[in-house]
């Protein structure tokens, strides 16, 4: 069994290739969130998508697209990206520096995130997203 350790890929792709794929997938996801139109967000999320947030709140794809999309002002600055993958699954962990509000509250500007993608055809679809940013009053 191939296991990813120390940022080593779990398949034949190099670290640089995985990080490039991860960056592109994240830009597509965050770009859709900046756009905010439900039909655009829907296209970057897998049917099984779930999000879990620092405060314990969560949404599935249907609820997220309908009411849970945060107001993201611009694609965030991504740092510390580590992407691992095997076959059609890729996991990305990173720090996002973002200007965002949710439910009228400001989201902590810089916080870790974990986003899992599944490749469908030539597109990476977000399957799961862990948002560890706190909401500010």
Number of domains the chain is built from: 1
CATH code: domain of residue 65: 3.10.450.50
- SS percent in the chain: helix, strand, coil, step 5: 25, 45, 30
Residue 3 maps to a domain? no
What pLDDT is recorded for position 1?
33
Among 9-13, 72-76, 95-99, 122-126, where is mean pLDDT lowest?
9-13
Phi/psi-derived region of residue 87, left when phi > 0, alpha when psi is between -120 and 50, beta in every other case: left
Domain that holds residue 22: 15-136
11-25, 38-52, 92-106 — which one is most confidently predicted on average?
38-52
**Report field, pTM of the whole predicted structure over 0.85:** yes
User: Two tokens at 137?
Assistant: 């009053």
């Amino acid at each position: 069994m191939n296991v990813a350790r120390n940022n080593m890929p779990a398949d034949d792709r190099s670290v640089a290739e995985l990080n490039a794929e991860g960056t592109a997938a994240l830009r597509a996801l965050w770009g859709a969130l900046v756009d905010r139109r439900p039909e655009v967000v829907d296209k970057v999320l897998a049917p099984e998508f779930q999000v879990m947030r620092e405060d314990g709140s969560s949404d599935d794809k249907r609820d997220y697209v309908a009411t849970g999309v945060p107001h993201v002002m611009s694609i965030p600055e991504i740092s510390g990206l580590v992407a691992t993958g095997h076959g059609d699954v890729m996991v990305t962990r990173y720090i996002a520096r973002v200007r965002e509000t949710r439910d009228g509250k400001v989201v902590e500007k810089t916080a870790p995130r974990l986003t899992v993608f599944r490749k469908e055809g030539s597109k990476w679809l977000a399957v799961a997203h862990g948002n560890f940013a706190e909401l500010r009053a």
